[in-house]
Amino acid sequence: MVSRLHTKLLRDIRAGFWQILAISVVAGLGVAVYQGLMVAYENQKLSYAISYDVLRFADVTVAMKRAPRSVVRQMAQVPGVRRVEGRIVLDLEVEQGPGRRPRVTGRLVTLPDARESEVNRVRLLEGRLHSGGPRRDVLLEASFARKHHYRPGDSLYPVLEGKRVAFQVVGIVSSPEYIYPVQSKQFLMPTPELFGVLFVRQSQVESLLGMSGSINELVFLTHPAAADRVGYTVMNRLRAYGAQDPMTRKEQPSNLLLQSDLDGYRPMAVTMPLLFLGTAALAVSMVLARWAQAQRGQIGFLRASGFRPIAILLHFLELGLVAGAGGGVLGSLLGAQFARWIGAMYDTLLHIPFQARDAHPEIMLTGVLLSVICCGLGAFGPARQAALLPPAEAMRGSAPAQPRLAARIRLPLIIALPLRNLLRRPLRTLGTASGVASSVMLLVLSGALLDSMDHSLGTYLNDIQHYDLIVGFAAPEAESRVYHIGRWPGVSRAEPTLELPVRLGHAGKEEETVVIGMTPGARLRRLPGPEGRAVFPLPGGVLFTNALVHKLTLERGDWLRLEYTQNTREFRARTFLRSGPPVNQPVGNPVYVRMDDLQRRFGRPLGLPPNSVTGALLAVEPAFEAGVRRRLNTMEGVSLVQSKQELVDQINELTAYSKAFMTLFVVFACAMAFAVTYTATDSVLWERTRELATLRTLGFSQGRVALLVSLENMAMAGLGAVGGLWPGAFLADALLNASQTEGFTTRIFVEPQTYVLSAVGPFLLVFIAQWPGLRRIRSLDLAATIRLRDE
């Protein structure tokens, strides 16, 4: 037979069903966020691991100028090498047919002719792999193919040795090297509209480039932990062939950015659920404290009858555990959907060769347990208090109040009553206000995350980049070419830009990025410094982003080493510059140097022509933009033309899923705020049903009773709102700092309306949330309620 104490528990749950459900919803949201984020996180990690494993993603890569194919066999003998493949990798211009962007940057990557590659294989998604025969087949990396709507049978035209050569697309593939398809570490976001990877047969490239029997890159699979050693051994042995510094898997651009993305994701996956579950614990505590108060007489009787304290403790604890279990179940159902949704988002963003879609029951179980534990912990305090209540005291009814301050209130009764109620038990009032505060905190937090992201992107797109078109040259060109473009009709301003990949060094730390040359008086790219003032590099100085300040532990005035990343024996460039003030640039981590400084310090050592530039920023009158683009696209040596709008679209596409996350958090926070507010207000009404019923029997109108309750609840909401605003902004700042990725440095920014809505929201929610409770009181059988000593 079910114990009658359990019958009581079930009936209590039924009577307070909506409160328990509200708590379960809060806990469930926490579990859903935890499960969704953790399952997605684990699946992403697993997807990368499987893809890397199955497709034999290289542990280390060594690029060379040119070497005979025979080095492959020699390097296979290097201790620690498991497999090695030699290939040709070449960046070049690719012309596209009508209806597509005329020119893009392509990367030719060779695959063996008659066998699968030993290292860095590709996975066929559509079409077929290379076949033998003389026809020029190409396999396109999926993100580029999808962006430009390539299907098997289409053609495209790489420019090899100055000649436009037709290749036919036979298949669409994904590659472990280009899951995050960036050209190099200096490109922090994929630009499939501008850059694509073309996998072609080795023999065809060899003949087209006159590189018969040659390779320019070696990719290795090594024994565990041997990658560094193998890389340096190979580099040293192949110095004669122009071997560059080895690149381990950890440094490989796609993998580096994917890892950075995962690392940035984890704090969110831990913090957000904890906040939700913590709030659920608070809500449980708040409700049970009031339930225990309302049931003091019953507790007293139970204890007087011989029920042991442990029975009372477990009885109240069970209420918390039930809410937690309910939250666990709700959360795991919602979390599974959430995880699927995140997985689908990644699918649209990345082409991962092998997708893991595990349900991760261990995470689900952990989520349920976390919910039960958090709600159990929340219940423990009030349950313990109830259990330790001396029976004689419990039987006396209300707990001793602290009336001194309350008694001093000399105000009209309609205000004094609610205020006295709040002051009578300040700790419990604070407890309830904390529940509201935690929901306000989450509202501010999620709103602030969204605001900060919008603000950061706004800063980058509106405050820094003022150009209409950006032009990139295939090879460095004379500065005069930019001024020539500047005289075209419709071009109101043309500013040269010189960008070079560099490795920065300071205090024993290194970071690869790009250095950008700035011409004095530049207007199309402005650099916001501290307090938003525009800054410009001084002669011999370098400006760097805030993110680099932390990464390289830089301070203003420090000497920073800049080294060209593709130094060879013939051309080496390295210089030291003094750090200026940091630039508030949220996207990318470039460093800025004066154009003449950069040309002098890097141009000559690298063998560049005098006054070389690598591109231009253009301001173009809207009516002329299409014409200028057409002209640029047909201009020799121009490899990139991108409008500001395309950059905006590209960033929006890339950040769409982060924004969707944040928006979902806002929705979750709103749902939680409602649930907590409902719990807070309804538990007040629950506790005071008899008192309010008495007021009604005394002749108080329903409206007056509602006003009394509303004033008390509003005061509590006000306390909560004040208490939740600052912690929300503080947490958002901490979370943003912990979640920075390689490409994005988002700084805290909270729109005033976020504060206003977060602060005003609880009042509105209180108004809605107390309505069911007030309705219950209106429909009470007053006589029956008053007849009961304890409700």
Write out the residues near other proteins by the rule CB under 8 A.
3-5, 7-8, 11-12, 14-15, 297-298, 300-309, 390-392, 395, 781, 784-785, 787-791
For tokens 């405050």, name the residue: 463
Closest distance to other proteins from the beta carbon of 783 (Å): 9
In the complex, minimum distance from the CB of residue 308 to other proteins, in angstroms, rounded to a whole number:
5
Residue 145, both tokens:
């193919």
User: Quick one: 357 or 396, whose CB is closer to other proteins?
Assistant: 396
Q: Give me the least distance between CB of 428 and other proteins, in Å please.
A: 22
Minimum distance from CB of 315 to other proteins (Å)? Answer: 11
Task: Please count the CA atoms within 13 angstroms of the CA of 182 that sit on its side-chain side.
Answer: 19
Residue closer to other proteins (CB basis): 54 or 304: 304
CB 420 within 8 A of CB 404: no
Q: What is the secondary structure of 145-164 as a DSSP string?
A: HHHTT--TT-EEEEEETTEE
Query: What is the nearest approach in angstroms of other proteins to the Cβ of residue 692?
Result: 16
234, amino acid identity: V
Closest approach of Cβ 781 to other proteins, in Å? 7
Q: Decide whether 319 or 350 has the Cβ nearer to other proteins.
A: 319
Alpha-carbon distances, residue 394 vs 294, 398, 421, 437 (angstroms):
11, 8, 20, 31
Say which amino acid occupies 576.
F
| Minimum distance, C-beta of residue 388 to other proteins, in the bound complex (Å) | 9
**Residue 301 one-letter amino acid:** F
| Cβ at position 26, least distance to other proteins in Å | 24
Q: How far is the CB of 21 from other proteins (least distance, A)?
A: 17
Q: Which is nearer to other proteins, 6 or 66 (CB)?
A: 6
Q: Kindly report the CA angle at 369 between 366 and 370, in degrees rounded to 5? A: 85
| Closest CB to other proteins among residues 566, 785 | 785
CB of 302 to other proteins, least distance (A): 8
Q: Which is nearer to other proteins, 14 or 408 (CB)?
A: 14
Question: Residue 141: how many CB atoms within 10 A of its CB?
Answer: 27
**Closer residue to other proteins in complex, CB, 257/313:** 313
Q: What angle do CA 564, 570, 571 make, to 5 degrees?
A: 25
11 versus 250: smaller Cβ distance to other proteins: 11
Nearer CB in complex with other proteins: 391/501: 391
Residue 620 burial by CB count (10 A; 0-12/13-18/19+): exposed, middle or buried?
Answer: buried
Q: Which residues pair with 576 in a beta bridge?
A: 561
346 DSSP 8-state letter: H
**Residues contacting 450, CB < 8 A, separation 6+:** 659, 662, 663, 665, 666
- What 3 state SS string does 375-425 have? HHHHHHHHHHHHHCCCHHHHHCCCCCCCHHHHHHCCCCHHHHHHHHHHHHC
- Smallest gap from Cβ 690 to other proteins, in A, equals 10
- Per this entry, what is the length of the chain? 791
What's the DSSP call for residue 744?
Answer: B
| Interatomic CA distance for residues 618 and 641, integer angstroms | 10
Report the residue number, 300 or 743, with the smaller CB distance to other proteins: 300
CA–CA distance, 712 with 718 (Å, rounded to integer)? 10
Which residues lie closer than 8 Å to 10 by C-beta, 6 or more apart?
Answer: none
- Residue 269 or 287: which CB sits closer to other proteins? 287
Q: How far is the CB of 742 from other proteins (least distance, A)?
A: 58
DSSP lists the bridge partners of residue 197 as 107
Q: Which of 3, 701 has the CB closer to other proteins? A: 3
Q: How far is CA 768 from the centre of its chain?
A: 33
CA gyration radius for the chain? 33
Strand duo 469-478 + 534-535: pairing: unpaired
Nearest distance from C-beta of residue 12 to other proteins, angstroms: 6
| Rounded CA separation 665/659 (Å) | 10
- Contacts of residue 235, Cβ cutoff 8 Å, sequence gap at least 6: 62, 243, 244, 245, 246
Cβ atoms 261, 743 nearer than 8 A: no
- Grouping H, G, I as helix, E, B as strand and the rest as coil, residue 715 is helix
Nearer to other proteins, 10 or 54 (CB): 10
